[in-house]
A and B are shown apart, each in its own frame.
Chain A
Amino acid sequence: MAPSAPLTIRDLRKTYGSTVAVDGISMTVAPGEIVGLLGPNGAGKTTTTRVALGFLRPDRGAVEVFGETVTATAASYRRQIGYLPGEVRLPGQATGREVLELLGRCHGGDCAQERENLIERFGFDPSKKVRAYSKGNRQKLGLIASLQCKPPLLILDEPTSGLDPLVQQSLLSILTKRAEEGAGVLFSSHVLSEVQAVCDRVLVMRSGRFVYESAVEDLGLGRRRRVELVLGEQGTTTDTGLLSLPGVSQIEIDGARVRFHFDGEPATLIKVLGSLPLRDLVVERPELEDLFFSLYEDEPEGGAS
């Protein structure tokens, strides 16, 4: 029998009154896979992670962690999970070490060695009271708490929020290493560049549904280029047929400045550009942001988180 996936979500639906937070989503996080969960506020990312932890009961569908169905009353499956909430809130009167030791005892495993490693790696001082920590240090505390027992499934809601670039880099390398060791990681984030850097697969949520799913390497961004050009005084784009070229999309014209995406034949673009009175030209690889924004055009404000 094949081993169960770290996380399987089937046809999950969750509503708050008349608001549909998550609408029939299905997904799997395989062992050793880092899955990026993207979406703006209200897309349903946090609801999805909270159902996976058993904090919220789904209206329909099921979540399984290593084959064990998640319910509000069950708890043993959570031995497999390291969880970091989107907003790290902890009791202010306790010290960082007291919090870490409490959560280690609750987990029941031997977490002390890894805890000390992480404390050293993140440069964290666990002797202070939680109320004295800055946002970044609270985030470090939350990360150490979620990683200290080396769980085989990590569910991290915006893990790099508030961290300085060095610690961010350190965290991303830890996640990559954990995935290489076989852990599954579900990584919710607004920071698309880091998702692009560490994730194997990206899921984009909108209004409680997955509107896009792809392996990062198959995102279609490989051939696509973002082009920005500034025309000379006499130049126009219409008379050269630039904007009607096959492969041109997402056109923005701001006076003499023209921006567009191009995923057609480079030779045809070069030919047309050569006929234009260019003052400046930038051709660059697009970021995941470009995909993200194109998916979220016309997105209304609000919704569940």
Chain B
Amino acid sequence: MRGWLTILRWHVRWERLRFLVLLACVVLFTAIFVGISDAFRPEEIEEMLDRMPTFLQKLAGHEADRMLTPEFWISTLVGHPIWLLLMLCFPVAAGLRCLSGLQGDGSLEWILSQPISRNQCFLAGLALVLGGSTLLCVAAGLSAWLAGAIWFPGEITTRFLFDCTLSNWAMTCAVGLFVLAMSASLPRPTSWVLGVLIAMGFLFILGSLWSPARPFSYLSLFAYHHPQTIYATGLRPGLVAGAFGWATFFGLFGWWRFTRRDLE
């Protein structure tokens, strides 16, 4: 079983620089986002939110019971599109590279001509995606905690940060394993992955804006990460379980496909 560790080390060899740059971007974005909160007075933000169109308020989840607290600010941070983009960069790119990328550059054929099973290859990809996503989420949670401790000492509870990080991690894992499953199933999955992720984004937006479409929005992996709900009512375990459920489904499906399909 040492084979998968060899492959994982090979992945890490090529991913580590990109990963560190991404990590730095997450920390920097968190610091900037929380840091600039000092520049606004709560009334100004409230006034700005009031002036926003209703659909934007709905999208942001701020249409009711707003309380402009530091936790509100953090919940806005972890639901911000730039934050999501930063958090999803790694699982998407690594998920694509670790199987279909290896097939594309010819490495997979060489690796699988050695006594390395497809299970081990898949396991290495799984470890890369899950391990990297976990590290990224933990680093993001810690940097939010640190930024909160510096700018809002004593105003942000550890429980709130933990819940946001857990929700973030569940969604990141679900997206990462969706990409891994596509990477395991198709030789050139990039356009499919991007297309489906964009469609999921639209489905999530539609469900947020139009209540009859809300049940369908749970087909989108983005619907399971809702920091404003955590802020308003606390973590909903069903959403986290849903995200991990999808992650498990995609992980099993990817493994099943990869170990059975023809590698052409």
Question: B117–A89 contact, CB under 8 A?
Answer: no
Residue of A nearest to B110 (CB): A103
Complex CA–CA separation, A145 to B106 (angstroms): 13
Residues of A117-133 at the interface with B, using a CB-CB cut-off of 8 Å, are none
CB-contact partner of B10 in A75, A78, A102, under 8 A: A102
Contact B120 A55 (CB under 8 A): no
Is A195 among interface residues, defined by CB-CB distance under 8 A? no
The answer to whether B115 touches A91 (Cβ under 8 A) is: no
Contact of A75 (CB < 8 Å), options: B106, B109, B110, B117: B117
B263 adjacent to chain A (CB < 8 Å): yes
Task: Give every chain A residue within 8 A of B107 (Cβ-Cβ).
Answer: 90-91
CB contact list, A161-178 vs B, under 8 A = none
CA distance A90 to B10 in the complex (A): 13
B159 within 8 A of A: no
Produce 1/0 per residue, A146-170, CB < 8 A to B. Answer: 1000000000000000000000000
| CB contact between A107 and one of B7, B114, B118 (< 8 Å): that residue | B114
> What is the CA–CA distance of A178 and B110 in the complex, to the nearest angstrom?
21
Contacts A88-B106, A90-B106 given; indicate if A103 touches B114 (C-beta within 8 A): yes
A282 at the interface (CB under 8 A from B): no
Those of A246-284 within 8 Å (CB) of chain B: none
Complex Cα gap A83–B119 (Å): 20
Chain A, range 5-28, C-beta contacts under 8 Å to B: none
Chain A residues with Cβ below 8 Å from B146 are: none
User: How many whole Å from A103's CB to the nearest CB in chain B?
Assistant: 6
Min CB distance B65 to A, Å, is 52
For the complex, is B47 an interface residue (Cβ under 8 Å from A)? no
A89 to B264, CA, bound (A): 14
Give the chain A neighbours of B264 by CB distance below 8 A. 55-56
> Which residues of A sit under 8 angstroms from B118, Cβ to Cβ?
72-73, 75
Q: Is A76 an interface residue (CB 8 A)?
A: yes
The answer to whether A91 touches B106, judged by C-beta atoms less than 8 angstroms apart, is yes
A residues within 8 A CB of B262? 55-57
Q: Which residue of B has the minimal Cβ distance to A146?
A: B113
Residues of A with C-beta under 8 A to B120: 75
- Does A92 reach chain B (CB closer than 8 Å)? yes
- Give chain B residues whose Cβ lies under 8 Å from the Cβ of A145: 110
A90 to B107, CA, bound (A): 5
Contact of A182 with B by CB under 8 A = no
Asked if B44 is at the interface of the complex by the 8 Å CB criterion, the answer is no
- Chain A interface residue number, banded: 20 to 34
Is B105 an interface residue, CB under 8 A from the partner? yes
Q: Considering the chains assembled together, what is the distance between the CA atoms of A53 and B2 in angstroms?
A: 21
- In the complex, whether B111 has a CB less than 8 A from a CB of chain A is yes
Check A223 for interface membership: any CB of B closer than 8 A. no
Which residue in A75, A83, A106, A146 is a CB contact (below 8 Å) of B6? A106
Per-position binary interface string of chain B over residues 2-36, scored 1 when its CB falls under 8 Å from any chain A CB and 0 otherwise: 11001100100010000000000000000000000
Chain B residues lying within 8 Å of A91, measured Cβ to Cβ, are: 14, 105-107
The answer on a CB contact under 8 Å between B115 and A55 is: no
List the B side residues contacting A103 at CB < 8 Å.
110-111, 114
| Residue B248 is within 8 A (CB to CB) of chain A in the complex | no
Q: Which residues of B contact A53 (CB under 8 A)?
A: 112-113
Return chain A residues, CB-CB under 8 Å to B106.
85, 87-91
Which chain B residue shows the least CB distance to A83?
Answer: B113
Nearest Cβ distance between residue A218 and chain B, in whole angstroms?
33
Q: Is A61 an interface residue (CB 8 A)?
A: no
- Contact yes or no, A74 B117, CB < 8 A: yes
How far in angstroms is the closest Cβ of chain B from A143? 12
Task: Tell me, yes or no, whether B259 is within 8 Å of chain A by CB.
Answer: yes
Q: Is the CB of A78 within 8 A of B109?
A: no
Query: Which residue of chain B is the closest to A81 with respect to CB atoms?
Result: B113
Report which of B109, B113, B119, B263 forms a contact with A73, defined as CB distance below 8 A.
B119
Contact A75 B116, beta carbon cutoff 8 Å:
yes
Closest to B116 in A: A106
Taken together as a complex, chains A and B put the C-alpha atoms of A105 and B7 apart, in Å, by: 9
User: Could you name 11 residue pairs across A and B whose Cβ atoms are closer than 8 Å?
Assistant: A55-B262, A56-B264, A72-B118, A75-B117, A77-B115, A79-B115, A90-B105, A90-B106, A90-B107, A93-B14, A106-B115
List residues of chain A with CB under 8 Å of any chain B CB.
50, 53-57, 72-79, 81, 83, 85, 87-93, 99, 102-103, 105-108, 145-146
Supplied contacts A75-B117, A78-B115, A88-B106, 4 more A-B pairs, CB within 8 Å: A53-B112, A103-B110, A106-B111, A107-B115
